[in-house]
A and B are shown apart, each in its own frame.
Chain A
Amino acid sequence: MSFPNPPKAIKLVLLGEAAVGKSSLVLRFVSNDFQENKEPTIGAAFLTQKCTIGDKTIKYEIWDTAGQERFASLAPMYYRNAQAALVVYDITKPASFLKARHWVKELHEQASKDIIIALVGNKYDLVEDSNDELRKVSVEEGKKLAEEEDLLFFETSAKTSFNVNEVFIGIGSKIPDNSPVTETRPENGARIDLSSQPAQKSNSSCC
């Protein structure tokens, strides 16, 4: 008999230029859904999703922020205390990659010190089928930035769901396991030994 660990809540914030697909990534991750023309986010949207990685369960509390420059002054409200951040850009829009650099810099300067950041180049579907003339930000550029700044790096497509769950699993596996999971259940007076849990490796399934 085994009890799943109580899920560990992780505050995650999405940052990036307008219309790079932040809300779509979240929609894909949370509802496994996609909308072709998703309306712009005003202020910020909030969603949650649980994610099982090995034997640990993470509950993501996702803050999906508005991308337009004007709303940048609201962003600190959301990334303050965040344990994880997705900095999203559009691999067909070089300007969005510049903006991503800026966000990474700001996070390093202003966010909590051990925040885990994933750099995400979205809209991979547009360059699939060797349709390379649309790609404006190379994989190498992304990787290079990620290496320089110590970020996780993914190229994703919210549309085809390519690599989307991997981003959240990747972040989840990097979250340190120091959560005080010493919650005991008083029933039967028996302590539940959480450490000797049979490894029910559900192959890192999200959703």
Chain B
Amino acid sequence: MNQDTESDNSEYAEAHSNKSLEVPEVDEEKVEMADSESNYEKSDEKDESNDEKFDEKDVTPIDTSNDTDLPSREPMKDYFRLNEPIIFEPEDLTPSNNHLLVNNLNRIKTTFDNHQDKSSIDQGTSTLKSLFQQIKNASMINTQSSIEWEKWEDLINDKLPIEEINLLINKGIPNEIRGIIWGIISRSNNLKLNDYFYNHANLESIHERQIKKDITRTSFYTSISKLDKINEIFNILKIYSNYDKEIGYTQGMIFVLTPINLQLNEFESFNLLVNIMYDYNLRSFFDNEMKGLHLMLYKFDRLLQLTRPNLFNHLINQGIKSSMYASQWFLTLFSYKFPIDIVYRIFDHFIFEGLDFLLKISINLMILNEHNLMNLKFDKLLGFLQNSLFNIFVNDKYIGDKSPEKSVITDFYSIDKIFKNLININPNDMIKFEAEFNELYRQNKLKEERINKMNLVNGKLRNEIKYLQMNLASLNQDHLSLLQNLINYKIKLPELVSQNFELRENIDQLTEDIDNLKTKINDDVPEDIENQISKLLDINKSETERNISLEDELDELMAQDKELDEKLAPFKKSWFWK
């Protein structure tokens, strides 16, 4: 048990003696009335447009007179009073209306009653209770102890009324019994889990390397000098990563575990870590879609919008979303950057009131810093949100002190101021916000699915386009070369035509020649030439015969002529002389 930081109890008591300090007294009944009536007066608090999708007709007022009841099993839609403004005012901690506390204690009881390891949890809790007794006995010797032992004892034995529990934890759990109280209240000390821890201590984990790396670079220890705790942290995270294979190890876990481990031993720390992850549902922050974280951010946005619309609008106008600064608050249960003493106090409330307590503290931080935040612009504003929210709680006497030894001073922060006047949270509103968120989430999912589908189709189409483009390119190439050929041909064509023409002319000429020649051949060489020759020979023969006969005739005639001449010769001379 770590006992090195003293809590200052007298201060808390003083703070709480004046409950209604600075807080407008709000009658709870009135709030609920305004809540359930159709009250549209506050138009500036109109819900976001997406709310319109919800059916608002079947709205029935919800009976919240019995605060200790869990939300009844009425149909969910009865809780959808979405377009009706919720009147939110910071309420003082009227014990009876700390709904989160009531709900969470009921939740723990129900879980325990139905738990399969009930008896081993019972045993584990008894162990812690006897530890409590030992510390109490030891401490009682010191009469100056300011711890209200009777109350704490009543608390762990379920004898303290809820109003008193509320007041008691708001003062902070004394450091001497802090871890024990955490373990008892959460009913996390399950001896069966101890067995698991034992049996798997030497089992390797795929996350070992990452865990080691992160432990060496987590600055928690440099300020707390608890170096011997490093091995424990490593073992717990390693064993957890095997215990919960789905989540394994996630970087925020180291910050969640460290404050626990500084208050509890190795086994108890592991048990509480498992309990916080599963039963407090911190796992939902770390699963693959981090849906729980996004839900928490959504609830935070809605609460801020309702409680401090001006601040909400200022942040929106400056382009700042809660995811930019609040993710690290929620993922580490505020233990990422904030002072350990404050972290313990947040854990005190968290164990008693559950995960939604993170909303109370974060909204409170925003409210208390509203004045500062309203005067800052984008980057300064973000820087402030990430690092400086606790500056307003620095104890007056240290303001201006340049280098206070923070590790030595236990009252550097006026821690009680932070937990004073926490806003109250109506579980019904949480249910409503969750329904809104789920609707948004569902729509987003659908959108995402559609986008993914489109991307898939797009991808396919892109491939197709690529393929077609490639085809087109090669076709273009073909086309181009064809075109070039065409041009070449076109250039050649006239030439060819004229050649063709010439050739045709030649052909014609030649054909004519051939024809001529053919006719000539036919004329010159009659086919029945022998016949003709023989005919001619015949003719010739007959002609020759005729010739001979004619010659003969001629001879005869010549002879006659001569005869005649001779006869005529005497006459001739006479005739001649005449």
- Report which A residues bind B (CB closer than 8 A): 18-19, 37-48, 61, 66, 68, 70-71, 73-74, 77, 109
Instruction: List the A residue with the shortest CB-CB distance to B335.
Output: A42
Q: Is B38's CB within 8 Å of the partner chain A? A: no
Tell me, yes or no, whether B274 is within 8 Å of chain A by CB.
Answer: no
* Contact segment of B187-195, B214-222, B419-427: B214-222
CB atoms of A46 and B379 under 8 A apart? yes
B300 touches A (CB below 8 Å): no
Selected contact of B210 from candidates A47, A68, A77, CB within 8 Å: A68
* Contact B289 A73, beta carbon cutoff 8 Å: yes
> How far does the alpha carbon of A6 sit from the alpha carbon of B413 in the complex, in Å?
40
Whether B289 pairs with A42 at a CB distance below 8 angstroms is no
B216 touching A37, Cβ below 8 Å? yes
Q: Is B161 an interface residue (CB 8 A)?
A: no
Contacting residues, chain B, for A38 (C-beta < 8 A): 217
Interface residue ranges of B203-248 to A (CB < 8 Å): 210, 213-214, 216-219
7 A/B residue pairs, CB under 8 Å, sorted by A: A40-B214, A40-B254, A42-B328, A43-B327, A61-B379, A71-B290, A77-B321
Residues of A within 8 A of B327 (CB): 42-44, 74
B250 at interface by CB-CB < 8 Å: yes
Main secondary structure of the interface of B (DSSP, over half): helix
Check B323 against A19 for contact (C-beta < 8 Å).
no
Q: Which residue of B lies closest to A70 (CB)?
A: B250
- Which residues of chain A have C-beta atoms less than 8 A from B288's C-beta? 70, 73
Q: Which listed residue, B216, B250, B383, touches A68 by the CB 8 Å rule?
A: B250
* Closest CB pairs A-B (n = 9): A43-B327, A37-B217, A43-B328, A42-B328, A48-B379, A40-B251, A70-B250, A68-B251, A46-B382
Which of A43, A66, A73 lies at the interface centre, i.e. has the most chain B CB atoms within 10 A of its CB? A43
The residues of B that contact A46 with a CB separation of less than 8 Å are: 324-325, 379, 382-383, 386
- B252 sits at the interface (CB 8 A): yes
Q: Does B88 contact A (CB under 8 A)?
A: no
A47 to B325, CA, bound (A): 12
Bound Cα distance from A37 to B323, whole angstroms: 26
A71 to B332, CA, bound (A): 13
Interface centre among A39, A41, A73 (most CB of B within 10 A): A39
Instruction: Mark contacts of B310-341 with chain A using CB atoms, 8 A cut-off: 1 yes-contact digit, 0 otherwise.
Output: 00000000000101110110011000100000
B298 within 8 A of A: no
Contacts of B393 in A (CB 8 A): none
Q: Is B255 an interface residue (CB 8 A)?
A: yes
Residues on A with beta carbons closer than 8 Å to the beta carbon of B379: 46, 48, 61
Q: B452 to chain A: closest CB distance in Å?
A: 12
Q: Is B286 an interface residue (CB 8 A)?
A: yes
Nearest chain B CB to A4's CB is how many angstroms away? 18
Q: Which residues of A contact B325 (CB under 8 A)?
A: 46
Interface size on B, residues (CB 8 A): 31
Which residues does chain B contribute within 8 Å of A42, judged by CB atoms? 251-252, 255, 327-328, 331-332, 336
State A46–B323 Cα separation when bound (angstroms): 12
A63 nearest CB neighbor, chain B only: B324
Q: Is the CB of B383 within 8 A of A19?
A: no
What B residues does A45 contact at CB under 8 A?
386
Distance in angstroms between the alpha carbons of A18 and B336 in the assembled complex: 17
The docked-state distance in angstroms from the alpha carbon of A75 to that of B168 is 41
Q: Are B217 and A40 in contact (CB under 8 A)?
A: yes
Instruction: State A104–B76 Cα separation when bound (angstroms).
Output: 44
Residues in B with CB closer than 8 Å to A44 are 324, 327
Q: Chain B residues near A61 (CB, 8 Å)?
A: 378-379
Contact of A39 with B323 in the complex, beta carbons under 8 Å? no
Give the residues in chain A near B290, CB-CB below 8 Å.
70-71, 73-74
**Which listed residue (A18, A39, A43) contacts B218, Cβ 8 A?**
A39
Residues of chain B with a CB closer than 8 A to A43's CB: 323-324, 327-328, 331
Residue of A nearest to B382 (CB): A46
Name which residue of chain B comes closest to A66, CB basis: B251
Q: Mark B264-308, 1 if CB is under 8 A from A, else 0.
A: 000000000000000000000010111000000000000000000
Which residue of chain A lies nearest to B380 when distances are taken between CB atoms in the complex?
A48
CA distance A82 to B474 in the complex (A): 39
CA distance A40 to B251 in the complex (A): 7
**CB-based contact A39/B217 at 8 Å:** yes
Given contacts A18-B251, A68-B251, A70-B250, contact A40 B332 (CB under 8 A): no
Min C-beta distance of B232 to chain A, whole Å: 19
8 A Cβ contacts from B145-163 to A? none
Check if B386 sits within 8 Å of A70, measured CB to CB: no
A28: min CB distance to chain B, Å: 16
Compute how far the CA of A47 lies from the CA of B324 in the bound complex, rounded to whole angstroms: 12
A94 to B290, CA, bound (A): 28
Q: A19 near B219 (CB under 8 angstroms)?
A: no
Q: Which residues of B contact A77 (CB under 8 A)?
A: 321, 323
| Cα A45 to Cα B382 with chains together (Å) | 9
Residue of B nearest to A81 (CB): B319
Is A71 a contact of B324 with CB atoms below 8 Å? no
Determine if B251 and A74 form an interchain contact, defined as CB atoms under 8 angstroms apart: no
Give the distance to chain B from A180, nearest Cβ to Cβ, in Å: 18
Apart from A18-B214, A41-B251, A73-B289, what are 9 other A-B pairs with CB-CB below 8 Å?
Answer: A18-B251, A40-B217, A42-B255, A42-B328, A42-B331, A46-B386, A73-B290, A74-B327, A77-B323
A38 to B251, CA, bound (A): 13
Chain A residues with CB below 8 A from B331, complex form? 42-43
Contact A39 B219 (CB under 8 A): yes
User: Which of B218, B324, B382, B383 is in CB contact (< 8 Å) with A40?
Assistant: B218
Closest to B327 in A: A43
